[in-house]
């Protein structure tokens, strides 16, 4: 998988197209991938590529964006660590706010992986589910849910995306 | 009425300017909520209107209007 991190808000479609172009360049077997992909946005479903060759998932939180891209289904969540009324969320056991967000992003990345609605955050996660977790941008936590695979991460400048010919 | 109460919840809970919260506003892109914010709002909505959301019901939520429609449906 490749994780593309951006500090700031960017247009989703431009980001997806920019990251796909990079993904295709970087992944060794991407020569087999088409130059462009069609993004499908259907009600009740997470956005996806029509071809189904490549999977992606997007997440934003208060000034940061991450796009995860992989050959396999993937879910990602980024959250800015901030004060939370932890007692409102009894399904999450945490001793402090940072622990809370580690568990929160884990659960939310699973919800994104399965494509369920946000209320699924309260549900059970199968024990064999695989996660990766990262501290990014000084104060944000990111969790990714996907089958175990190599991870490459990049930070992209928002201006590179805005200026791209996508 | 539902929209007004919802605006109040979002604004009070998250300190967001009510002008950002209109029927057509996309919850994430326009109002600027992340997943924790959305769940906090939905939990307050459940309390305020005495309803409970199933997982499936929240899948399609994109705009504030979608939340209003869902509340209307559940309070019929």
**Interface contact flag, B59 A116, Cβ < 8 Å:** yes
| Residue from B30, B34, B54, B56 carrying the catalytic annotation | B34
Residue ranges of B 31-70 with Cβ closer than 8 A to chain A = 32, 34-36, 38-40, 42-43, 53-61
Q: Is the pLDDT of residue B63 over 80?
A: yes
DSSP A65: E
Q: What is the pTM of this model?
A: 0.91
- Bigger pLDDT: A28 vs B5: B5
ipTM of the complex: 0.83
List, for residues A61-73, the tens digit of each pLDDT value: 999 999 999 999 9
B66 assigned to active site: no
List, for residues A102-137, the tens digit of each pLDDT value: 999 999 999 999 988 777 888 899 999 999 999 999
Type and span of the H or E element at A134: strand A131-136
Q: Tell me how many domains chain A contains.
A: 1
Q: Is the pLDDT of residue A166 over 70?
A: no
List, for residues A26-82, the tens digit of each pLDDT value: 986 767 899 999 999 887 788 999 999 999 999 999 999 999 999 999 999 999 999
- Bigger pLDDT: B53 vs A116: B53
Question: For position B62, what pLDDT does the model report?
Answer: 87
Scanning chain B, the segments in alpha helix (DSSP H) are 2-14, 35-49, 64-74
A49 contact partners, CB below 8 Å, separation of at least 6: A20, A37, A38, A39, A40, A55, A56
For chain A, say whether B18 makes contact (Cβ under 8 Å).
no
**Longest CA pairwise span in chain B (Å):** 30
Could you list the residue range(s) of the whole structural domain that residue A92 is in? Answer: 2-162
List, for residues B27-42, the tens digit of each pLDDT value: 988 888 999 999 999 9
Mean pLDDT estimate for chain B:
90
Contacts of B33 in chain A (CB under 8 A): none
User: How sure is the predictor about B22, in pLDDT bands with cuts at 50, 70 and 90?
Assistant: very high
Contacts of B29 in chain A (CB under 8 A): 12
DSSP A128: T
């Amino acid at each position: 998988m490749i994780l593309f991190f951006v500090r700031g808000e960017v247009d989703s479609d431009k980001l997806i197209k920019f990251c796909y172009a990079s993904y295709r360049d970087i992944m060794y077997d991407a020569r087999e991938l088409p130059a462009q992909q069609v993004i499908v946005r259907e009600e009740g479903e997470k956005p996806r590529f029509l071809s189904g060759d490549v999977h992606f998932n997007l997440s934003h939180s208060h000034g940061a964006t991450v796009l995860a891209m992989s050959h396999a289904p993937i879910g990602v969540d980024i959250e800015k660590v901030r004060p939370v009324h932890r007692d409102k969320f009894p399904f999450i056991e945490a001793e402090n706010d940072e622990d809370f967000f580690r568990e929160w992003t884990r659960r939310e990345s699973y919800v994104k992986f399965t494509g369920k609605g946000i209320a699924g955050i309260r549900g059970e996660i199968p024990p064999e589910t695989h996660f990766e977790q990262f501290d990014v941008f000084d104060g944000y936590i990111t969790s990714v849910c996907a089958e175990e695979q190599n991870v490459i991460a990049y930070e992209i400048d928002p201006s590179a995306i805005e200026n791209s010919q996508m | 009425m539902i929209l007004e109460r919802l605006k109040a919840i979002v604004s009070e809970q998250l300190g967001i300017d009510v002008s950002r919260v209109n029927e057509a506003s996309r919850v994430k892109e326009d109002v600027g909520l992340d997943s924790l914010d959305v769940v906090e709002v939905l939990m307050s909505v459940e309390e305020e209107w005495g309803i409970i959301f199933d997982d499936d019901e929240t899948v399609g939520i994109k705009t504030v209007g979608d939340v209003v429609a869902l509340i209307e449906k559940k309070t019929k």
